[in-house]
Amino acid sequence: MKKRVGVVVCVIVGLLALTFGAAAQTNQAWIPGVASLALPGLGQVLNDQIDKALWHFGVAVALNVGAYYVSALLPFPGVYGVGLVYLAWGLYSGYDAYTVAQEQGFRIGVVENGIGFAVNF
């Protein structure tokens, strides 16, 4: 479990580091989309939609808990169906975060007068 969290954090930090070099890029809506694909609700947090983020994360947790119990009842091929449902939710969450970020004009980059962090909507 610690490896999974570490990998997700490294991927998100790596994606954010890529954007520092491309601060002039106008369309950076993919950042919340990828973040929400990795962890449903994270992209909504980046879009400053805390209530929606809690719902997306809560559904993801419910799918994980439900998948544990359903996979115990289903035969082996049924386990793949549970994974596909979670993947579908992650894709929807990422798409939602991407479209909202694109509508808001999401931009992330380095502050001009020194080292810092800025998010523009």
- From residue 30, give the alpha-carbon distance in Å to each of 3, 67, 94: 24, 28, 9
Helix (H, G, I), strand (E, B) or coil at 115: coil
Q: Which token pair is 82? A: 């549970």
Where along the chain do its domains lie? 2-120
DSSP sequence for 49-91: -HHHHHHHHHHHHHHHHHHHHHHHHS-TTHHHHHHHHHHHHHH
Give the predicted TM-score (pTM) of the model. 0.69
Residues 40-80: pLDDT tens digits?
Answer: 999 999 888 999 999 999 999 998 888 777 777 776 666 67
